């Protein structure tokens, strides 16, 4: 390039000098030439003439012009020359340059390629060298590493192997040792096991013995239980008998200190008591009723006028219910109480210092059973204090000891017993009262000892069923208190021996007194104490009677039962001694333990419990009959036993009787057994056939023909002696005919070849002979039994069919019932429609006749007003029926024919127009004058209060009576009268009115006094204010005056 650049500059330098001198030469030529000529011209002119001058000028100019054109021509030629030369030079130069440039380029490329090649060759060489060196180094290193690893691994393996061998050796040794030990152990255990099995055998034999003994004792126990049950039954029967003849006089609520001088008085009193008991609930106050209800487990609720009746009814019902399930046990409670009286009486003799205290305690205990628990709690304390002392006085220390022993152990069961008993006893109370009321005078007349005995007996029972608890050991909350009481039987004996009528009365009175304590009348208890003190002496206790309380209920019962029969003689002795012995004991049941609510709710459970035995009996009987039925079904009539029966009739052929033909009417004696054997052979086959026939299998026949029998017999007997079989069969037929009770029949087939099973019995042996020849004799069972499965299937079929029939019938019946119901409802609807139509018609008639003034209205018009056009066709029947109904049953409407607008048509005439509408609660006019100046008018009204009589009837049951009356009064008095308060007293038929001032009261007085109100004449009186306030303390003294509740009626 440099070469090219240098060349270029050189060419421009060469060119420029050649061009410039030419360019500079031309202007010099031009400029220099012209002034020189001009300067020369004036000079010439001075020398020559002027005219020449102009020519000269013209020449000059021509010369100049030619000169310039020559110059131009030369200049242009020169320019074109220069240009062409220049272009040539350029061309040359560029060509040269290109050539040089190409040469240079090729040189450069060659050099570059050479350099590249050399460089790459060198690089490859170096790279190869490096690679080879790296590979060799790597291989060396690998070699070294693997060598080291191998070495280490070998070392490890050798060490591991050695240790493993050692461990194995050790383990093996140990195991062997243990195994030996185990073997020795096993041997030892085997020895032990053998010894153990020996001992076990011994033990099992002993156990069997024990079992045997146990069974024995069980059997003994069962015997004992049976005995016990028998005795219990006896006991129950005796009790029932006794209770039948019992006079019960107790629990009569209220009694005053009446003295019953005569029997009549007593009877009257008892009757009266009955009535009071019945009316007691009715006459209770609200508060009493509430407490009573709460006592019986009802929720406490407001007792209003509306609820009171219901609650009273409920209470009565509950009382009645409770009295029903009560058994005689309650009597026993009462009797216990009465007996307690006697015993306490005797105690009081013994222990007179504690008399007052005891009385109190007695009252509390007797009252306790009837009182609500709350009341009882407060009274229980004295009893507790009392009873130990009593017991001590009665029985002494020995009883205490025994009680201490039995105390806690018996207590729990005792409580359960008592609670159950008590619920029952409590329930029976009231009814018994009524009974005593009715029975008492009869018994008193009889003066027999039986009622008293019975009652005492029952008390004995109760005391025995309620064995009691030691007071010392039981916590203070125990509900049962026990003490000894007099033997009731003793009491009866005294009665029977030396009881006078007055004594009888006295005793009754004492009982009444007792019951009066129940009814919360403490004063009456005096009777009982007095009586007991007068009649009974302190008792001497006998040992056996003391022992009895500590026995169980049951033994107690037994003992009392046992002691019953031999009693009479000892009684007489005691009677003569007039000594009373101490009876087992008496137990008090405090109200705390009995919960009435529980009783109320558990009646259902009790019902189940009570009826368990009877239910079980029924089930047992049903089971028994079912078993019987089953056995009957299952029972098979064993043919062999029947056939071998001695009673079967066997006609033996006897040679001396001429008519005997063997096989026809008699059997040779030696062939009887063969015939029977034949029967035994064919009987099972026959039964299976009949069974399959009965089961409805196709092709089965209910009989066996002679041919079949002979085939079977010959097959069974393995002797092909057909004739022998034949004779046997003949004999068998004779036997069967003679013994209908074998259950077999010889029959004659109606048709042998058809499959029909018709046949007729053959009763005569001669017939057989005839039929034998035909081959139509067969044997069948008289009353074939169907197998169970078939029976079941058949029953199922028949049951299914009956079920279907029943279902169809019920569906039919239901359908009929539905249709009937539908019909009835349809009728009802129709009649309702008719009635409503009639009412509408009457309304329309009355309205229209009132409005229009005409007394009648067209029937069609009424119809058209009532029924819309689209319904007219539909309602035609209803309309006709309504019209007929009105014609027949409506007295206020008369149907007649009138000409309306010249046309005759049926019309209804309203004919009740003059009967005035009923005026209710209306003032009907004045009876006498009350205006000023009249006699009835007071000049000054003294008080603001008034009392109005006769405004309503006593029987008026209108619940809104007060508002009605208030409206009537306000209406009558008008707005100008200020009334503060109006109230109604229904019992006296009075209305009380309080006005704001005396003058207002005067207005009321004048406007009401002497008026007729709803057919009653009203009288008004002034009432003093304080009296009024006394009666209605809440009546307002100021404030809003009363206004009418309904719109005012126009009053003329």
Partner 1 sequence: MSSTSQKHRNFVAEPMGEKPVTDLAGVGEVLGKRLEVAGFDKAYTVLGQFLVLKKEKELFQEWLKDTCNANSKQSSDCYQCLKDWCDEFL
Q: Give contact residues for partner 1 (rule: CB under 8 A).
A: 298-299, 301-302, 304, 306-307, 309-311, 313-314, 959
The residue (of 44 and 830) whose beta carbon lies closer to partner 1 is: 830
User: Measured in whole angstroms, how far is the alpha carbon of residue 529 from the centre of its chain?
Assistant: 56
Helix (H) or strand (E) holding 589: strand 582-589
Grouping H, G, I as helix, E, B as strand and the rest as coil, residue 1049 is coil
Rounded to the nearest whole angstrom, what is the least distance from the CB of residue 316 to partner 1 in the complex?
A: 12
Rounded to the nearest whole angstrom, what is the least distance from the CB of residue 634 to partner 1 in the complex?
A: 46
Rounded to the nearest whole angstrom, what is the least distance from the CB of residue 299 to partner 1 in the complex?
A: 6
Question: What pairs with residue 152 in β-bridges?
Answer: none
The residue (of 100 and 308) whose beta carbon lies closer to partner 1 is: 308
The residue (of 315 and 883) whose beta carbon lies closer to partner 1 is: 315
Rounded to the nearest whole angstrom, what is the least distance from the CB of residue 618 to partner 1 in the complex?
A: 30
Rounded to the nearest whole angstrom, what is the least distance from the CB of residue 438 to partner 1 in the complex?
A: 30
Nearest to 523 by CA among 255, 336, 250: 255
Q: Which two tokens stand for residue 540?
A: 């001497």
Sequence-ordered list of residues with C-beta below 8 angstroms from that of 879, at least 6 positions apart, any chain: 837, 863, 867
Rounded to the nearest whole angstrom, what is the least distance from the CB of residue 695 to partner 1 in the complex?
A: 47
Residue 493 — left, alpha, or beta (φ > 0 → left; ψ -120 to 50 → alpha)?
alpha
Rounded to the nearest whole angstrom, what is the least distance from the CB of residue 313 to partner 1 in the complex?
A: 7
Nearest to 377 by CA among 593, 525, 539, 588: 593
Buried b (16+ CB within 10 A) or exposed e, 139-167: eeeeeeeeeeeeeeeeeeeeeeeeeeeee
Rounded to the nearest whole angstrom, what is the least distance from the CB of residue 302 to partner 1 in the complex?
A: 5
The residue (of 198 and 307) whose beta carbon lies closer to partner 1 is: 307
The residue (of 149 and 304) whose beta carbon lies closer to partner 1 is: 304
Rounded to the nearest whole angstrom, what is the least distance from the CB of residue 319 to partner 1 in the complex?
A: 15
Q: Which two tokens stand for residue 725?
A: 């079989």
Sequence-ordered list of residues with C-beta below 8 angstroms from that of 636, at least 6 positions apart, any chain: 785
The residue (of 602 and 724) whose beta carbon lies closer to partner 1 is: 602
* Rounded alpha-carbon distances, angstroms, from residue 244 to 241, 435, 451, 1034: 5, 12, 9, 61
The residue (of 742 and 952) whose beta carbon lies closer to partner 1 is: 952
Rounded to the nearest whole angstrom, what is the least distance from the CB of residue 306 to partner 1 in the complex?
A: 6
Long-range Cβ pairs for the range 223-232 (8 Å, 24+):
228/554, 228/558, 231/557, 231/558, 231/561, 232/557
Rounded to the nearest whole angstrom, what is the least distance from the CB of residue 241 to partner 1 in the complex?
A: 40
Q: Which two tokens stand for residue 326?
A: 């009560």
The residue (of 244 and 300) whose beta carbon lies closer to partner 1 is: 300
DSSP symbols for 914-943: SSPPP--S-EEEESS--STTSTT--SS---
Q: Which two tokens stand for residue 165?
A: 């061998």
Rounded to the nearest whole angstrom, what is the least distance from the CB of residue 825 to partner 1 in the complex?
A: 14
Write down the H helix ranges in 326-372: 329-350, 355-368
Rounded to the nearest whole angstrom, what is the least distance from the CB of residue 890 to partner 1 in the complex?
A: 23
Q: What is the DSSP letter of 120?
A: H
Residue 443 — left, alpha, or beta (φ > 0 → left; ψ -120 to 50 → alpha)?
alpha
Nearest to 373 by CA among 60, 591, 521: 591
The residue (of 315 and 749) whose beta carbon lies closer to partner 1 is: 315
Rounded to the nearest whole angstrom, what is the least distance from the CB of residue 998 to partner 1 in the complex?
A: 36
The residue (of 316 and 950) whose beta carbon lies closer to partner 1 is: 316
The residue (of 302 and 684) whose beta carbon lies closer to partner 1 is: 302
Q: What is the DSSP letter of 400?
A: H
Distance CA 84, CA 936 (A): 175
The residue (of 317 and 808) whose beta carbon lies closer to partner 1 is: 317
Do the beta carbons of residue 611 and residue 527 sit within 8 Å?
no
The residue (of 553 and 602) whose beta carbon lies closer to partner 1 is: 602
DSSP symbols for 834-870: HHHHHHHHHHHHHHHHHHH--SEEEHHHHHHHHS-HH
In this structure, the strands spanning 945-949 and 990-995 are antiparallel
Distance CA 440, CA 513 (A): 15
Grouping H, G, I as helix, E, B as strand and the rest as coil, residue 951 is coil
Buried b (16+ CB within 10 A) or exposed e, 522-537: eebbebbbebbbebbe
* Three-point CA angle 383, 384, 387, nearest 5°: 75
Nearest to 898 by CA among 854, 847, 863: 854
The residue (of 299 and 1040) whose beta carbon lies closer to partner 1 is: 299
Rounded to the nearest whole angstrom, what is the least distance from the CB of residue 301 to partner 1 in the complex?
A: 5
Rounded to the nearest whole angstrom, what is the least distance from the CB of residue 311 to partner 1 in the complex?
A: 8
Rounded to the nearest whole angstrom, what is the least distance from the CB of residue 962 to partner 1 in the complex?
A: 13
The residue (of 294 and 592) whose beta carbon lies closer to partner 1 is: 294
The residue (of 310 and 615) whose beta carbon lies closer to partner 1 is: 310
Rounded to the nearest whole angstrom, what is the least distance from the CB of residue 269 to partner 1 in the complex?
A: 34
The residue (of 596 and 848) whose beta carbon lies closer to partner 1 is: 596
The residue (of 601 and 750) whose beta carbon lies closer to partner 1 is: 601
DSSP symbols for 745-811: EEEEES-SSSS---EEE--SHHHHHHHHHHT-EEEEESSPPPPHHHHHHHHHHHHHHHHHHHHHHHH
Chain position carrying tokens 């409580």:
415
Distance CA 278, CA 435 (A): 13
């Amino acid at each position: 390039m440099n070469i090219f650049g240098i060349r270029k500059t050189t060419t421009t330098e060469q060119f420029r000098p050649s061009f410039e001198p030419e360019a500079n030469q031309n202007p010099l030529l031009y400029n220099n030439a012209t002034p020189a000529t001009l300067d020369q011209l004036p000079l010439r002119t001075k020398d020559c003439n002027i005219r020449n001058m102009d020519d000269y000028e013209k020449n000059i100019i021509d010369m100049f012009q030619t000169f310039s054109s020559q110059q131009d021509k030369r200049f242009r030629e020169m320019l074109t020359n220069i240009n062409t030369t220049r272009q040539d030079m350029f061309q040359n130069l560029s060509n040269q340059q290109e050539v040089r440039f190409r040469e240079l380029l090729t040189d450069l490329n060659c050099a570059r390629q050479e350099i590249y090649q050399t460089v790459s060759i060198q690089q490859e060489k170096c790279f190869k060298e490096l690679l080879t060196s790296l590979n060799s180094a790597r291989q060396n290193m690998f070699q070294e590493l693997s060598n080291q690893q191998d070495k280490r691994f070998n070392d490890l393996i050798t060490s591991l192997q050695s240790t493993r061998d050692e461990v194995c050796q050790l383990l093996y040794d140990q195991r062997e040792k243990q195994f030996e030990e185990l073997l020795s152990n096993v041997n030892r255990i085997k020895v032990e096991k053998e010894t153990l099995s020996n001992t076990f055998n011994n033990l099992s034999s002993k156990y069997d013995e024990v079992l045997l003994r146990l069974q024995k004792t069980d059997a003994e126990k069962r015997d004992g239980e049976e005995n016990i049950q028998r005795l219990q039954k006896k006991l129950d029967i005796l009790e029932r008998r006794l209770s039948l003849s019992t006079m019960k006089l107790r629990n009569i609520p209220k009694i005053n200190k009446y003295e019953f001088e005569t029997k009549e008085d007593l009877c009257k009193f008892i009757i009266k008591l009955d009535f009071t008991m019945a009316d007691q609930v009715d006459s209770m106050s609200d508060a009493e009723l509430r407490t009573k209800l709460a006592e019986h487990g009802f929720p406490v609720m407001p007792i209003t006028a509306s609820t009171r009746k219901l609650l009273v009814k409920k209470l009565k019902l509950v009382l009645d219910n409770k009295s029903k399930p009560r058994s005689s046990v309650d009597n026993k409670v009462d009797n216990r109480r009465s007996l307690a009286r006697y015993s306490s009486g005797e105690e009081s003799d013994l222990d007179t210092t504690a008399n007052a205290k005891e009385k109190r305690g007695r009252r509390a205990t007797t009252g306790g059973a009837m009182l609500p628990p709350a009341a009882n709690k407060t009274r229980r304390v004295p009893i507790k204090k009392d009873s130990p002392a009593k017991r001590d006085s009665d029985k002494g220390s020995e009883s205490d000891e025994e009680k201490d022993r039995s105390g806690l152990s018996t207590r729990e069961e005792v409580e359960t017993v008592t609670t159950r008993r008590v619920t029952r006893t409590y329930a029976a109370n009231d009814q018994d009262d009524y009974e005593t009321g009715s029975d008492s005078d009869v018994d008193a007349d009889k003066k027999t000892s039986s009622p008293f005995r019975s009652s005492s007996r029952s008390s004995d029972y109760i005391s025995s069923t309620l064995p009691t608890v030691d007071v010392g050991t039981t916590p203070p909350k125990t509900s049962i208190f026990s003490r000894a009481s007099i033997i009731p039987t003793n009491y009866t004996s005294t009665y029977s021996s030396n009881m006078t009528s007055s004594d009888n009365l006295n005793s009754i009175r004492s009982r009444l007194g007792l019951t009066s304590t129940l009814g919360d009348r403490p004063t009456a208890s005096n009777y009982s104490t007095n009586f007991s003190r007068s009649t009974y002496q302190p008792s001497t206790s006998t040992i056996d009677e003391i022992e009895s309380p500590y026995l169980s209920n049951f033994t107690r019962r037994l003992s009392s039962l046992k002691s019953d029969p031999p009693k009479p003689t000892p009684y007489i002795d005691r009677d003569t001694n007039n000594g009373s012995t101490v009876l087992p004991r008496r137990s008090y049941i405090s109200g705390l333990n009995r919960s009435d609510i529980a009783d109320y709710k558990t009646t259902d459970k009790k019902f189940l419990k009570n009826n368990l035995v009877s239910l079980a009996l029924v089930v047992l009987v049903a089971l028994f009959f079912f078993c019987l039925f089953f056995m009957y079904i299952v029972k098979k009539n064993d043919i062999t036993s029947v056939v071998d029966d001695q009673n079967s009739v066997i006609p033996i052929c006897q040679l001396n009787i001429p008519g005997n033909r063997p096989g026809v009417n008699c059997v040779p004696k030696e062939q009887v057994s063969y015939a029977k054997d034949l029967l035994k052979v064919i009987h099972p086959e026959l039964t299976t056939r009949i069974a399959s026939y009965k089961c409805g299998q196709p092709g089965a026949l209910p009989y066996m023909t002679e041919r079949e029998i002979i085939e079977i017999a010959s097959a069974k007997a393995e002797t092909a002696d057909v004739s022998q079989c034949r004779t046997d069969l003949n004999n068998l037929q004779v036997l069967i005919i003679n013994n209908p009770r074998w259950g077999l029949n010889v029959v004659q087939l109606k048709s042998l070849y058809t499959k029909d099973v018709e046949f007729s019995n053959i009763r005569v042996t001669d017939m057989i002979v005839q039929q034998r020849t035909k081959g139509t004799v067969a044997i069948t069972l008289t009353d074939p039994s169907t197998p169970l499965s078939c029976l079941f299937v058949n029953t199922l079929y028949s049951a299914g069919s009956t079920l279907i029939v029943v279902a169809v019938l019920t569906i039919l019946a239901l359908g009929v019932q539905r249709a009937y119901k539908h019909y009835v409802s349809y009728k009802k609807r129709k009649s309702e429609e008719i009635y409503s139509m009639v009412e509408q018609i009457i309304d329309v008639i009355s309205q229209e006749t009132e409005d229009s003034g005409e007394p009648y209205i067209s029937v069609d018009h009424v119809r058209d007003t009532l029924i819309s056009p689209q319904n007219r066709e539909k309602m035609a029947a209803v309309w006709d029926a309504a019209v007929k109904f009105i014609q027949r049953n409506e007295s206020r409407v008369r149907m007649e024919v009138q000409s309306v607008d010249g046309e005759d048509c049926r019309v209804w005439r309203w004919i009740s127009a003059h009967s005035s509408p009923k005026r209710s609660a209306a003032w009907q006019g004045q009876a006498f004058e009350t205006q000023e100046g009249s006699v009835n008018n007071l000049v000054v009204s003294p008080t603001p209060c008034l009392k109005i009589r006769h405004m309503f009837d006593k029987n008026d049951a209108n619940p809104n009576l007060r508002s009605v009356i208030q409206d009537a009064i306000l209406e009558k008095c008008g707005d100008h009268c200020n009334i503060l308060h109006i109230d109604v007293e229904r019992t006296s038929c009075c209305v009380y009115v309080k006005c704001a001032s005396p003058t207002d009261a005067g207005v009321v007085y004048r406007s009401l006094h002497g008026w007729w109100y709803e057919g009653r004449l009203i009288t008004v009186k002034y009432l003093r204010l304080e009296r009024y306030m006394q009666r209605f303390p809440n009546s307002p003294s100021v404030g809003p005056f009363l206004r009418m509740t309904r719109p005012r009626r126009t009053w003329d």
